[in-house]
Chain A
Amino acid sequence: MSNAPMADLERIDFSKISFLVVEPNRLMGQMVRDVLLMLDAQYIDRARDYQSAIQLLKVGRIDVMITEWALSHEVTGKNGMDIVHWVRNDPASPNPFMPIVMMTANSEEEYVCRARDAGVSEFVAKPYTVQGFYTRLAAAIARPRRFVRVEDYFGPDRRRRSSDTYDGPERRIPAEPN
Chain B
Amino acid sequence: MAKRQKPVFLPPAQDLRLKAVNLKKGYPLKLEPAELRRLESVIERAADALHKETAEKLRLLRAALNDVAKGDRADQAMRAIRSLSLDIKGMGGMFKYPLLTAFAKSLNDFTNSIDYPTPVQLDIIAAQIDALYVVLAKHLQGSGGRTERALLDALRQATARHKGSRARF
Q: Is B164 an interface residue (CB 8 A)?
A: no
> How many angstroms between the C-alpha atoms of A64 and B102 in the bound complex?
31
> How many angstroms between the C-alpha atoms of A142 and B5 in the bound complex?
31
The secondary-structure label for the interface of chain A is: mixed
Q: Is the CB of A31 within 8 A of B43?
A: yes
Q: Is the CB of A147 within 8 A of B12?
A: yes
Enumerate A79-110 residues with CB–CB distance to B below 8 Å.
97, 99, 104-106, 110
Provide the residues of chain A in CB contact with B27, threshold 8 Å. Answer: 11-12, 14, 39, 138
Chain B window 76-107, contacts with chain A (Cβ cutoff 8 Å), 1 for yes, 0 for no: 00010001001101111110001001000000
Q: Which of B16-24, B60-68, B123-131, B149-157 contacts A (4 or more CB under 8 A)?
A: B16-24
Provide the residues of chain B in CB contact with A9, threshold 8 Å. Answer: 23, 28
Provide the residues of chain A in CB contact with B13, threshold 8 Å. Answer: 97, 144, 147
Provide the residues of chain A in CB contact with B147, threshold 8 Å. Answer: none
Q: Is A175 an interface residue (CB 8 A)?
A: no
Residues of A in contact (CB 8 Å), total: 55
Q: Count of A-B contacts with CB under 8 A?
A: 151
Residues of B in contact (CB 8 Å), total: 50
Q: Is the CB of A40 within 8 A of B36?
A: no
Provide the residues of chain A in CB contact with B40, threshold 8 Å. Answer: 129-130
Q: Is A75 an interface residue (CB 8 A)?
A: no
Q: Is B160 an interface residue (CB 8 A)?
A: no
Q: Is the CB of A130 within 8 A of B43?
A: yes
Shortest B97–chain A CB gap in Å is 9
> How many angstroms between the C-alpha atoms of A142 and B8 in the bound complex?
23
| A-B contacts, 14 listed (Cβ < 8 Å) | A11-B26, A11-B29, A12-B20, A13-B22, A14-B27, A25-B91, A27-B50, A31-B46, A38-B42, A63-B19, A110-B168, A114-B169, A127-B89, A130-B36
A interface with B by C-beta (< 8 Å): 6-17, 25, 27-28, 30-31, 34-35, 38-40, 63-64, 70, 73, 97, 99, 104-106, 110, 114, 126-131, 134-135, 138-139, 141-151, 157
Which 10 pairs between the two chains have the least Cβ-Cβ distance? Answer: A127-B93, A105-B90, A126-B90, A13-B26, A144-B12, A97-B13, A11-B26, A147-B10, A127-B94, A16-B20
